[in-house]
C-alpha cells in the first residue's frame, strides 16, 4: 500500500527509462562486435559475437577424474599445449587450496577423433583415472539445429502471447503489441549484459530467457488489466492519469514479487554450483529487466500508442471533412458550368426530384375517390337479360349498399325502367335442399 500514496509521475519518466534501456542494449551490442573483431583468426567472426555453449556451436565435453588433486592453472597450461584456448573448466566434487580431483572441460575444439592426444596432455598434469573419465563430442550440425529450434521457440512464444493478449483485451492490438515489445527488450537486455559480462550462452541461458518471458508477461498483464478496469472506474478523466494511477496501484504487488524472486536467485548465485550459477545469473538479469520494463516502460508505452491512435483518428476525420468539402465545391462548379452552357443545372434536377417525391407522398396520404356501387339483380324470366341499374354519380350516392339505396328511395329509378322490388324470404331456407325448377335459375 506504500506506493499508492506516492505522487510519482511514472508516465513522465518514459523517455528516461527508454534511454537507459537503449544504452544497455547498445553497450551489449558494442561488446558483441568487439568480441567478433578480436577473436582468434583475425577479421570479423560473427560466431564469436557471443560466447555460445557447446549446445549451439558443437565441440568436445570432457569429464576427467584424477588420482590426485590438480589446480586449474595447470590444466589450462597443458590444454594450451594441444591448441585448446577456449576451454571452460568447472570443478566437480570437493577440493582444497585451489586443487580438485575432478573437472568438466568444455571446448569448441573437436577432440573426439584424437582422444589419445587429449589423454596424454591431461596425464602430464596428473594421473588420470580412465575408468571414471569420459569424452563426449557434439557435432556442429546438432548445434546449429539446436540454435534454430531455440529461435523458433522464442518467436512462436512471442506470437502466441501477442494473439492471446489481444484477444483477452477485446482485440485491442495496443496491449498485445506493448507486451511483445517489452519482452523483446528484455531478451535484448539479457543478451547485451551477457556480452558485457563475457558469459557463455548455453542451454541454461535459453531456459532462462523463456522463463523470463513467462514471468515478465505475467507482471505486465497485471498492470494492463488494472488500466482496463480504471478506464471504466475513472471514466471522464485524462488517460494519462488513469495509466499513472494504475501503475501506482499495482507497484506494491510487482515490487514484492520481484524482491522475493531476486532474494532466491542471489542465494542460488552465491551458493550454487558452476552450472547453477550460470542459470541463476541469466534469471537474475532477466527478472530484474522484466520487472523494470513492466513497471516503468510497458504501461507508459500504452499511453504513447493510445495518443498516436487518437491523433491518427483525428487526421482521418479531418481528411474526410476536407474531401467532402472538395466534392461539394466540385459539384457546385460543375452545376454552374452546365447552367452557363444552356443545360439543366444540378440544383434544378435535385429540386425537381424532391418535388416529385413530395407529390407522390401526398398522393399516397390522400385516399382515392371510391367508385359508386352498382345495383344488380336477375329477372325471374329465364330468357330475360340481366338488368343493371345505371351508375349514380359520386356527388349523389358515393359508395352506397343496394339495400341502403332501397331504404332511401333511390330505387325508384329502377321501377321507372320496369324493375321489380327485391323481396327475399330466407326463413326456412335450407341451402342443402334443391330449389324448385322455377328457382333453379336464381340459384
Q: Kindly state the percentage of the chain with pLDDT values over 90.
A: 2
Q: Is the confidence at residue 8, as pLDDT, over 50?
A: yes
Distance of CA 371 to the CA centre of its chain: 69
Question: Which one is predicted more confidently, 26 or 377?
Answer: 26
3-class DSSP assignment, residue 98? coil
Q: Is the pLDDT of residue 167 over 70?
A: yes
Three-state DSSP state, 52: strand
Lookup result for grid cell 541461458: 205
Phi, psi torsion values for 61, nearest 5 degrees: -120, 130
C-alpha 165/C-alpha 182 separation (Å) is 13
Query: Whole-angstrom Cα distance, residue 71 to residue 229?
Result: 61
For the question of whether the overall pTM of this predicted structure is more than 0.75, the answer is no
Which residues are CB-neighbours of 163 under 8 A, at least 6 positions away?
176
pLDDT at 39 over 80: no
Is 124's pLDDT higher than 80? yes
Cα 307 to its chain centre, rounded Å, is 18
How many Å apart are CA 297 and CA 307, to the nearest integer?
A: 16
pLDDT in tens, 93-123: 666 666 778 888 888 888 877 788 888 888 8
**Where is mean pLDDT largest: 146-150, 156-160, 225-229, 390-394?**
225-229
Question: 135: which strand partners?
Answer: 62
Task: Give per-residue pLDDT as tens, 258-286.
Answer: 899 899 999 988 887 666 888 888 889 88
Place of cell 498492470: 223
Are 246 and 172 contacting, i.e. CB atoms less than 8 angstroms apart? no
Rounded to the nearest integer, the mean pLDDT of the chain is 76
What is the C-alpha to C-alpha distance for residues 100 and 65, in angstroms, rounded to an integer? 9
Residue 383: which pLDDT band, with cuts at 50, 70 and 90?
very low
CA distances from 300 to 9, 206, 224, 303 (A): 10, 29, 10, 5
- Residue 387: the pLDDT is 43
Cβ neighbours around 81 below 10 Å, total: 12
Q: For residues 195 and 49, is the Cβ–Cβ distance under 8 A?
A: yes
> What integer pLDDT is reported at residue 443 of this predicted model?
43
Q: Say what the pLDDT of residue 144 is.
A: 67
Q: Are 363 and 348 in contact (CB under 8 A)?
A: no
Cα–Cα dist 84/105, whole Å: 11
Is pLDDT at 395 greater than 50 in this prediction? no
Show the cell assigned to 99.
586443487
Which residue is it, cell 329502377? 414
219 near 296, Cβ under 8 Å? no
Residues 6+ apart with CB under 8 A from 351: none
CA dihedral 21, 23, 27, 32 (to 10 degrees): 50
119, burial (CB in 10 Å: exposed 0-12, middle 13-18, buried 19+): middle
In sequence order, the 6+-apart residues with CB closer than 8 A to the CB of 194 are 28, 50, 201, 205, 282, 285
Q: Can you tell me whether residue 47 is helix, strand or coil?
A: helix
Alpha helices (runs of H) in 234-298, residue ranges in sequence order: 239-271, 274-293
pLDDT per position as a tens digit, 280-327? 888 898 888 888 888 888 888 888 888 888 888 888 888 877 777 777
CA 336 to chain centre: 51
Q: pLDDT tier at 214 (50, 70, 90 boundaries)?
A: confident
Specify whether the CB–CB gap between 155 and 181 falls below 8 A: no
Q: How confident is the model at residue 377 (pLDDT cuts 50, 70, 90)?
A: low
Q: How far is CA 426 from CA 132, 350, 381, 405, 440, in A?
A: 128, 64, 21, 20, 16
Please report the pLDDT score of residue 263 as a whole number. Answer: 92
Angle between helices 203-233 and 274-293 (to 10 degrees): 20
Instruction: Indicate whether 388 pLDDT > 50.
Output: no
- pLDDT value at 384 more than 50: no
The pLDDT tens digits of the residues spanning 338-360 come to 555 555 555 666 777 788 888 88
How far is Cα 104 from Cα 64, in angstroms, rounded to an integer? 6
- Please tell me which residue, 249 or 373, carries the higher pLDDT value: 249
CA gap 61, 72 in Å, rounded:
16
pLDDT digits (tens, 9 = 90+) for 46-74: 767 777 777 777 788 888 888 888 888 88
- According to the model, what pLDDT value does residue 396 have? 47
Amino acid at each position: 500500500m506504500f506506493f499508492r500514496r506516492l505522487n510519482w509521475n511514472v508516465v513522465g519518466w518514459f523517455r528516461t527509462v527508454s534511454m537507459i534501456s537503449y544504452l544497455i542494449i547498445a553497450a551489449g551490442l558494442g561488446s558483441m562486435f568487439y568480441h567478433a573483431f578480436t577473436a582468434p583468426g583475425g577479421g570479423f567472426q560473427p560466431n564469436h559475437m557471443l560466447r555460445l555453449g557447446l549446445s549451439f556451436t558443437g565441440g568436445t565435453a570432457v569429464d576427467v577424474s584424477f588420482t590426485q588433486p590438480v589446480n586449474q592453472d595447470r590444466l589450462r597450461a597443458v590444454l594450451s599445449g594441444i591448441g585448446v584456448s577456449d576451454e571452460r573448466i568447472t570443478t566437480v566434487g570437493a577440493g582444497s587450496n585451489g586443487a580438485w580431483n575432478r573437472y568438466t572441460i568444455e571446448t569448441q575444439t573437436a577432440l573426439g577423433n584424437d582422444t589419445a592426444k587429449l589423454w596424454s596432455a591431461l596425464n602430464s598434469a596428473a594421473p588420470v583415472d580412465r575408468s571414471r573419465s569420459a569424452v563426449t563430442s557434439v557435432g556442429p550440425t546438432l548445434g546449429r539445429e539446436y540454435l534454430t529450434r531455440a529461435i523458433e521457440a522464442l518467436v512462436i512464444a512471442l506470437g502466441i502471447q501477442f494473439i492471446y493478449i489481444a484477444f483477452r483485451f477485446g482485440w485491442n492490438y495496443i496491449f498485445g503489441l506493448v507486451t511483445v515489445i517489452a519482452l523483446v527488450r528484455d531478451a535484448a537486455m539479457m543478451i547485451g549484459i551477457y556480452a558485457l559480462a563475457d558469459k557463455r550462452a548455453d542451454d541454461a541461458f535459453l531456459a532462462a530467457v523463456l522463463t523470463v518471458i513467462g514471468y515478465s508477461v505475467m507482471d505486465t498483464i497485471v498492470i494492463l488489466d488494472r488500466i482496463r478496469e480504471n478506464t471504466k472506474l475513472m471514466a471522464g478523466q485524462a488517460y494519462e492519469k488513469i495509466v499513472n494511477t494504475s501503475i501506482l496501484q499495482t507497484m506494491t504487488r510487482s515490487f514484492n514479487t520481484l524482491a522475493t524472486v531476486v532474494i532466491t536467485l542471489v542465494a542460488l548465485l552465491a551458493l550454487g554450483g558452476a552450472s547453477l550459477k550460470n542459470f541463476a545469473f541469466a534469471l537474475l538479469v532477466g527478472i530484474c529487466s522484466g520487472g523494470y520494463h513492466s513497471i516503468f516502460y510497458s504501461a507508459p508505452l500504452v499511453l504513447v500508442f493510445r495518443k498516436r491512435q487518437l491523433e491518427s483518428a483525428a487526421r482521418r476525420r479531418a481528411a474526410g471533412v476536407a474531401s467532402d468539402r472538395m466534392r461539394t465545391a466540385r459539384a457546385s462548379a460543375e452545376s454552374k458550368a452546365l447552367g452557363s452552357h444552356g443545360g439543366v443545372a444540378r440544383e434544378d434536377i435535385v429540386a425537381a426530384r424532391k418535388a416529385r417525391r413530395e407529390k407522390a407522398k401526398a398522393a399516397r396520404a390522400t385516399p382515392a375517390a371510391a367508385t359508386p356501387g352498382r345495383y344488380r339483380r336477375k329477372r325471374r324470366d329465364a330468357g330475360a337479360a340481366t338488368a343493371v341499374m345505371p351508375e349514380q354519380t359520386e356527388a349523389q350516392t358515393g359508395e352506397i349498399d343496394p339495400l341502403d339505396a332501397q331504404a332511401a328511395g333511390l330505387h325508384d329509378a329502377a321501377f321507372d325502367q320496369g324493375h321489380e322490388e327485391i323481396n327475399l324470404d330466407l326463413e326456412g331456407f335450407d341451402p342443402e335442399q334443391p330449389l324448385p325448377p322455377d328457382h333453379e335459375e336464381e340459384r
